Structure 1
Amino acid sequence: MSAPRHVLVLGGTTEARELAASLAARPGVRVTTSLAGRVARPRAQAGEVRTGGFGGAEGLADWLREHAVDAVVDATHPFAAGITAHAARAAAATGVPAVVLRRPGWRPGPGDDWRPADSLTGAAGLLPALGRRVFLTTGRLGLAAFAHLAEPYFLVRSVEPPEPPLPARTEVLLARGPFTADGEEALLREHRIDVLVTKDSGGAATAAKLVAARRLGLPVVVVRRPPLPEGVTAVPDVGAALGRLGLAGR
């Protein structure tokens, strides 16, 4: 594609912040980052920032036209399937070029004991056979999938307070990464955790818990990513996204 003048970044991730900073530093390029507004105090973003939803694919398409957007980069969380689907539909409806930026998922290595699940509900179904003290790191949304489990103890970590309903025996830990492997191992030992549950978010900021689980020989329930919309492919990093935008090396 030809180099854009106005880029909309659908953000909320480390990659989105890095991309916005790279775009804002390029002469003649205007960047607007859209945040869903689920975090009360988001980290600073380069360029312009808007907060809140668009009103589905149609609302996003209207926004692209109204604000003369030349390209869209969907750099949302790998599990933000709704906005990814809306972005694909809005781009197709308007003819605005779209790029999906997704960090690669995690891969198990020697010594890992990973148990894949297709959903949070599937992850909950695996837990009774795996352990009674659970470190739950799937974010603050969707915890209702575990609320029916009365026996296990859950240590729930998230950036913002989680939304109810929650399991009966829940302790909440509010924290934001990056974390260290030694710190994660100490946390698992302190709370006597015997099983970890995580989404396959990828990236380095929260990968240390996987190292800690490997060290301690703990099983890890890994929720698989939702598939991308049909016909949509992703680039793995900011450099590749800039290349797709025709801005690499500028």
Structure 2
Amino acid sequence: MCDRRIWLIGGTQESAQIARACVDQSIPCIVTVTTESARSLYPPMPIRVGKLTPADLKMFLREHFIFAIVDASHPFAIEISQLAIAIAAELKLPYLRFERSNVVGEPSLNFFSFAALLETDLLIGERVLLTVGYRSLPQFAQWHDRAVLFARILPSIEALSAAQAAGFTSDRLIALRPPISAELEAALWRQWQISIVVTKASGTAGGEAVKRQVAAELGVRLVTIDRPSLSYPQQTSNLMEVMRFCQAKLRQ
């Protein structure tokens, strides 16, 4: 009998929680992540590291006898979500999206995209901390002569290389893996005399709530980039519901 598995699209803290619950409940699954450093988030289990493309996705699904998909990727990782939704529809695979709840709290200034933000003069002359992920830093490469830019990145060679390629020098970078406490967040902002923080609407697990709190306490302007709009066929913000989905599909 083949070893059927759930495909868990990972790379987030919640996906690690789901993976541990699957191991505890003897639910067979394989996790996919894009970076080697993300592997450490997970318990001993099958993990595939690397970007999945449309060309190799069907082979991946066949090789691992995938019978359902749980998408717990980052809210801004829409490329893999779109790919998973399309293949699930084509092959009639059950799909469930775990979507982080939106943060409700101290207000921020919201933009629907980085391009919309950079069309304004909001950042000009400011000391700006970017907590937007290293893949977004190239969009700010032409802004080093208009603002004093700092960036927080993940502690990985890939992230550091991308930041340096976008014009960030070592004295303008700090490498930290979330979660980050309010105390550490505040200390960093004070150290760099930050006047504006740019972040993504990545939910509490992504540190958004902490940033809202610290921004209010320090009087720092917080700019938030809204989540991309994507229509998921089925979604939940409840981890217990994810596990019920996994158990139900395993029994089918």
Q: TM-score, normalised by structure 1?
A: 0.86
Note the 1:82-161 alignment, pairs <5 A. 82-109=79-106, 112=107, 114-126=108-120, 128=122, 132-149=126-143, 150-159=145-154, 160=156, 161=160
Q: Which deviations, in whole Å up to 9, do the C-alpha atoms of 1:87-137 show, x marking residues without a partner?
A: 00111111111111111122343xx3x111111222333453576100110
Change in Cα spacing, 1:205 to 1:145, as seen in structure 2 (3 Å) is closer
Structure 2 residue 81 is matched with structure 1 residue 77: no
Following the alignment from structure 1 to structure 2, what is the Cα–Cα distance between the partners of residues 133 and 215?
17
1:55 aligned partner: 53
Following the alignment from structure 1 to structure 2, what is the Cα–Cα distance between the partners of residues 222 and 162?
25
2:242 aligned partner: 241
Alpha carbons 2:13, 2:205 under 8 Å: kept: no
How far has the Cα of 1:162 moved from its partner?
5.3
Following the alignment from structure 2 to structure 1, what is the Cα–Cα distance between the partners of residues 121 and 21?
42
Q: Which moved more, 1:191-200 or 1:211-220?
A: 211-220
2:211 aligned partner: 209
Alpha carbons 2:97, 2:236 under 8 Å: kept: yes
Note the 1:5-44 alignment, pairs <5 A. 5-27=4-26, 29-37=27-35, 39-40=36-37, 42-44=39-41
Q: Which deviations, in whole Å up to 9, do the C-alpha atoms of 1:68-104 show, x marking residues without a partner?
A: 1111111110000100000001111111111111111
SS in 1 for 2:66: coil
Following the alignment from structure 1 to structure 2, what is the Cα–Cα distance between the partners of residues 129 and 80?
25
SS in 1 for 2:134: coil
SS in 2 for 1:12: coil
How far has the Cα of 1:167 moved from its partner?
6.0
Change in Cα spacing, 1:204 to 1:16, as seen in structure 2 (3 Å) is closer
2:221 aligned partner: 219
Alpha carbons 1:153, 1:170 under 8 Å: kept: no
Q: TM-score, normalised by structure 2?
A: 0.85
Give RMSD over aligned pairs.
2.5
Change in Cα spacing, 1:53 to 1:184, as seen in structure 2 (3 Å) is closer
Question: Aligned residues, how many?
Answer: 239
Change in Cα spacing, 1:154 to 1:42, as seen in structure 2 (3 Å) is farther
Q: Which amino acid aligns with 1:225?
A: R
How far has the Cα of 1:232 moved from its partner?
2.3
Which consecutive unaligned segments of at least 5 residues does structure 1 have? Answer: none
Following the alignment from structure 1 to structure 2, what is the Cα–Cα distance between the partners of residues 198 and 192?
17
How far has the Cα of 1:174 moved from its partner?
0.7
Following the alignment from structure 1 to structure 2, what is the Cα–Cα distance between the partners of residues 130 and 96?
48
Following the alignment from structure 1 to structure 2, what is the Cα–Cα distance between the partners of residues 133 and 169?
16
Following the alignment from structure 1 to structure 2, what is the Cα–Cα distance between the partners of residues 174 and 153?
18
Following the alignment from structure 1 to structure 2, what is the Cα–Cα distance between the partners of residues 36 and 152?
31
Alpha carbons 1:153, 1:169 under 8 Å: kept: no
Following the alignment from structure 2 to structure 1, what is the Cα–Cα distance between the partners of residues 161 and 115?
17
Q: Which amino acid aligns with 2:102?
A: G
Following the alignment from structure 1 to structure 2, what is the Cα–Cα distance between the partners of residues 235 and 5?
24
Alpha carbons 2:125, 2:146 under 8 Å: kept: no
Change in Cα spacing, 1:126 to 1:244, as seen in structure 2 (3 Å) is farther
